[in-house]
Amino acid sequence: MATDLGVTRLRCEYLVNPLGLDVARPRLSWELTARRRGQRQTAYRVLVASDPATLAEDRGDLWDSGRVASDQSAHVVYDGPALASGQRAWWKVRAWDRDGVPADWSEPAWWEAGLLRPEDWAGQWIGLPLQDTPPDEAAPDGLDGLVPSPYLRRVVRLPGAPRRARLYATARGVYELRLNGERVGDAVLAPGWTDYDRRIQYQIYDVTDLLRPGDNALGAILGPGWYAGHVGFGHRCRHYGARPQLLLQLHVELDGGATLVVASDGAWRGATGPIRYSDLLMGEHYDARRDLPGWDEPGFDAADWRPVDAQPRDAVPLVAERAEPVRVTEESPARAVTAPAPGVAIADLGQNITGWVRLRVRGEAGTRVQLRFGEVLNPDGTLYTANLRAARATDTYVLRGGGDEIWEPRFTFHGFRYVEVTGYPGALAPDALTGRVVGSDTPLAGAFSCSSELVNQLQRNIDWGQRGNFLSIPTDCPQRDERLGWLGDAQVFVRTACCNRDVAAFFTKWLDDVADAQSAAGAYPDVAPRLVDAADGAPAWADAGVIVPWTLWQHYGDTRIIERHWGAMTRWLDYLRRANPDLLWEARRNHDFGDWLSVEADTPKDVIATAYFAHDARLMAQMARAIGRDAEAADYADLAARIAAAFNAAYVTADGRVKGETQTAYALALHFGLLPPNLRPLAAGHLVADIERRGRRLSTGFVGVGYLCPTLTAAGHLDVAYRLLLNEEFPSWGYSIRHGATTIWERWDGWTAERGFQDPGMNSFNHYALGAVGAWLYRAVAGIDTDPERPGYRHIVFHPRPGGGLTYARAELRSPYGPITSHWTIAGDTFT
C-alpha cells in the first residue's frame, strides 16, 4: 500500500546543509507533504551516517533513531556521538503516515562540523602594521582610521590533486578571500559583527574545486569593518582594535590520503593596493590605477610586498557562523536620472535600500567619479544628507582608463534611494548604476496582500525595512552614524520579523550577542553588541533579553533557546527584583527612553517600566513551564501577579484609567493582561476615547505601536484598529506612504507638509520599529496565529478578522511545519 506522505526540506539548526556547525547535538527538522486532508506523521526514523554510501544502504553508523512513534517533525535532537572537527554527517528521514504506512526515505542532507577545539586552530592573526598603511591624500580630512586596505597573499604548493579542501577564515575587521583568481564564497562583510572581545565568528568554505596540483595563490583583502572602523555616533572608530587582521586555515586532503594544513602566519606577505580606504559609515575610495593585476594568481611577483606581522591567537572563542551570512540578495536598477545642478546627476532607484551600487564607467585614467548616497531629496532636487549626521556615505572610484570599467565597493554599506554622481565622464545613463541590496540572507517566509494598495505598500515598506536593517545584527537604521543593535527596536519588531522571513538562526546568533552584553550584575544593555551606548538597558529595551527568546519559542517552537538563555534571563529578573522590592520598576531605569517618538502623548515612564517588569515575569512563567521548570514557573507566575497588583494599586483608578491616560499606557496594561477583568472594558473604552479625541489618530511611539491594533482587536474594537491602519492623515503609516515612503520612517513626522523634514539630528527614513503593526496583518487581518499552548504552529489558529472595507486578504507564512495559507474574500454579502 502506498502513501501520499512525503518528507522534504530537511534542515539542521534551521539551516539547509550547514557547512560548519559547532553545535554538538544539533536539531533536525523536516516538512511533510501530502495530498490527502488529515494526513499526518505517526512515526519517524532518522538515520545519520558518516558517508553517503552507508546512508544509501539505509544504515546509520552515527545514529539510528529507530522507529519512533511520534508526530514530531521539528527540533528532533541528534543523539549520536559528537562529530570530530571537520567531519560531515549525512542524514535522511522516513515518516509513517496515519495508517502506519511508511513513506519513502527523504533525499539525503548533511551538516558538517567546524573546527571544534581551540587547538584545531593553528593560524595566527596577520595583517600589516599601521606604519605600513599610512593614510594618503585620498583620506578625507579630520577622520581617523581611513587607511589603505591590506592585500595579503601566499602561495600554497600541493604535491597532488586535492580530494577535499576546506578554508576556515575570519577577521578582526572584514575580509574577502581569493583563491587562484576567484572569489571564495558569496558572503560579504564577513565575519559579521559580534563583540570581538568575547567571540568571533568564522566562516567555512568548500574550496575543493578552486585548488589544483602545484602552486595555488591564496589571497585576502581586509577592511576595518565594525572592528576598527566607524560605528555608532560621535565620530568614533577603532572600537575593538586599530587595524584589521586575518585568521585563516586551509585544510586539504590529497588523493592518496595525505593532508596538508596551511594557516595564516608570518610566511604571508602584504601590500596596499587600490582600496585607499574603506569604512562602513564613511564609504570606500578605490583607485583603479593602483590595481594589482594577478595578485591572487600563483605567478604574481610579490618581491616588493612586505612581510606581514603575525600575532598568536588569544583566548577569545572562535565560533562557527550559525546564521545566514550577509550577502547581496537582489539588484535594484536605477530607474531615472536627473540633473539638479551642472555636473551633478542624481540617480533614483525608486526604492530605499541598504547596500551599495555597482558602477559602469568609461573614461580617461585618473578620472574621479564620486558617489554620495541619500534617502530623500531636497525640494530643489539635490541630495539631502543632513540626516546622515557624521556618516559621509561617499564612495569614490578613480578610473584605470581604457575601456569599460565595472566597480563596486567591498567594505562599506549605505542606506539610500538616491545616488548623487559627480565627475562622471559624459552623460550618466540609468543603466550605469545598479543598486546592490545587502543584508543577512534570511529566507523569505511570509507574504501578505489585501485589497488595499495602501496596506500592500505598508507591507512592502515593512519588509524592506527588515531587509535593510537585518545586517549581521538587527540594527536601528542603515544610513546615519549609528547602525547599532538597539534592543528596544528589536523586541518591538521581532514578531513581525518572524512573519516575513525565517529569522530563527539570525536571532539565535544575536541572542548570543545580547548575552555577551549582559552586565555582571545581570543588566541587559540598550544595544548589543554593547558599544557607544555603554549604559545598562532601559525599560522596553533591556526586556528584549526575555521577549526575543519567548517570541522565537512561540513562533518556531524552539525550547532550546529558552534553555540556553535561562540563566541570563533569571539574572535579569533578579537584578530588577533586588532593586525594586516594592515591585514598581523605579530604580535602574538607566536611559529610560519612554515611549520613544510618540506624538504629543507622554506615557509616564514608571508605568511603562512596571508594565514591562510584569510582562517579563509572565513570559518567564510560560517559558519555565515549557522547559519543565515547574517550581520556577509558579514563582514567576506569582511574581507577575504581584507586580500586576502593584501596578494597579499605583497607577490604575477604580474606573479603569491608567496613569498618563495615553494610548500606550492602555495598550500595555491591556495587552500584558495587567488589569482585573472588570476594568478591562473600561480601560479599552478610555483607549478608544483617546483615539477619537485625537481625530481617530494614533499617538504611540515605539513602545506602544505594536500592541495598539492587537489590543483594540482583542477588546472588540476591530473597527478602530482598521481605521488606524487605513488612515492617511498625520500621524499614521498611511501618511508616510502618501508622501512616497518606500520603507518605514523612524518617526511619524520625519517629513510633514507643514514643516518639511524633521530635525536632521534624528530622522532616519529606514527604521523598522514603527512597522511592528506587520504581525497584526498576518495574525488578525489574514488570521494566521500560533496557539500559545502548542507553539511553533504545532497548532494553527485561523481567525481572520475582516473589516475596514477590505474585500480580500491573503497571507502565506512558512512555519517550521511548512507553509500556512489564509485567504478570504468578501463579495456582496458573501464571506468566503
Q: Angle 181-186-190 (CA atoms, 0-180°, nearest 5)? A: 100
Angstrom distance (rounded) from CA 647 to CA 711: 18
Angstrom distance (rounded) from CA 642 to CA 645: 5
- Minimum Å gap between C-beta 767 and ligand BGC is 6
- Minimum Å gap between C-beta 605 and ligand BGC is 12
For CA atoms 47, 48, 49, 51, give the dihedral sign.
positive
Cβ closest to ligand BGC, residue 283 vs residue 537: 537
User: Are the CB atoms for 532 and 234 separated by under 8 Å?
Assistant: yes
Cβ closest to ligand BGC, residue 279 vs residue 481: 481
Cβ closest to ligand BGC, residue 63 vs residue 757: 757
- How many CB atoms lie under 10 A from the CB of residue 350? 14
- Minimum Å gap between C-beta 696 and ligand BGC is 27
- Minimum Å gap between C-beta 652 and ligand BGC is 26
User: Are the CB atoms for 382 and 341 separated by under 8 Å?
Assistant: yes
What is the SS3 assignment for 334? coil
Cβ closest to ligand BGC, residue 618 vs residue 767: 767
- Minimum Å gap between C-beta 577 and ligand BGC is 25
Q: What length is written for the chain?
A: 832
- Minimum Å gap between C-beta 477 and ligand BGC is 6
Residue 746 designated active-site: yes
User: Are the CB atoms for 442 and 470 separated by under 8 Å?
Assistant: yes
For 441-454, give the secondary structure using H, E and C.
CCCECEEEEECCHH
Angstrom distance (rounded) from CA 832 to CA 826: 6
Angstrom distance (rounded) from CA 550 to CA 641: 19
- List, as one string, the DSSP characters of 757-777: EPPGGG--S---GGGGGHHHI
Which candidate in 482, 692, 728, 729 is catalytic? 482
Cβ closest to ligand BGC, residue 463 vs residue 482: 482
- Minimum Å gap between C-beta 816 and ligand BGC is 30
Cβ closest to ligand BGC, residue 433 vs residue 544: 544
What is the SS3 assignment for 354? strand
- Minimum Å gap between C-beta 391 and ligand BGC is 13
Cβ closest to ligand BGC, residue 281 vs residue 345: 281
Lookup: cell for 13: 539548526
Angstrom distance (rounded) from CA 395 to CA 391: 12
Angstrom distance (rounded) from CA 88 to CA 20: 9
Lookup: cell for 623: 517559558
384 half-sphere exposure, CB direction, 13 A CA radius: 18
- Minimum Å gap between C-beta 762 and ligand BGC is 6
What burial letters (b/e) apply to 463-487, b meaning 16+ CB within 10 Å?
bbbbbbbbbbbbbbbbbbbbbbbbb
- Minimum Å gap between C-beta 538 and ligand BGC is 7
- How many CB atoms lie under 10 A from the CB of residue 143? 17
Lookup: cell for 157: 604548493
- Minimum Å gap between C-beta 106 and ligand BGC is 43
Q: For the chain, give percent helix, strand, coil, nearest 5.
A: 25, 30, 45
Cβ closest to ligand BGC, residue 233 vs residue 506: 233
Which candidate in 112, 284, 746, 812 is catalytic? 746
- Minimum Å gap between C-beta 476 and ligand BGC is 4
Angstrom distance (rounded) from CA 711 to CA 706: 9
- Beta-sheet strands, E only, within 342-432: 344-361, 368-374, 376-377, 383-384, 394-398, 405-407, 414-422
Cβ closest to ligand BGC, residue 111 vs residue 470: 470
Cβ closest to ligand BGC, residue 287 vs residue 482: 482
* Residue 483, CA distances (Å) to 114, 233, 260, 479 in order: 30, 9, 41, 7
* Residue nearest to ligand BGC as judged by C-beta position: 476
Cβ closest to ligand BGC, residue 196 vs residue 541: 541
Angstrom distance (rounded) from CA 171 to CA 202: 8
Residue 107 designated active-site: no
Q: Angle 24-29-31 (CA atoms, 0-180°, nearest 5)? A: 170
Where on the chain is the footprint of ligand BGC (CB under 6 A)? 476-477, 482, 486, 488-489, 593, 596, 762, 767
Cβ closest to ligand BGC, residue 392 vs residue 767: 767
* Residue 738, CA distances (Å) to 33, 129, 455, 726 in order: 42, 53, 11, 11
Angstrom distance (rounded) from CA 283 to CA 647: 49
User: Are the CB atoms for 610 and 646 separated by under 8 Å?
Assistant: yes
Question: Residue 269: which H helix or E strand, with range?
Answer: strand 269-272
Question: Residue 707: which H helix or E strand, with range?
Answer: helix 702-714
Cβ closest to ligand BGC, residue 482 vs residue 543: 482
What is the SS3 assignment for 317? coil
DSSP at 606 = H
- Minimum Å gap between C-beta 596 and ligand BGC is 5
What is the SS3 assignment for 572? helix
- Report the catalytic residues: 482, 746
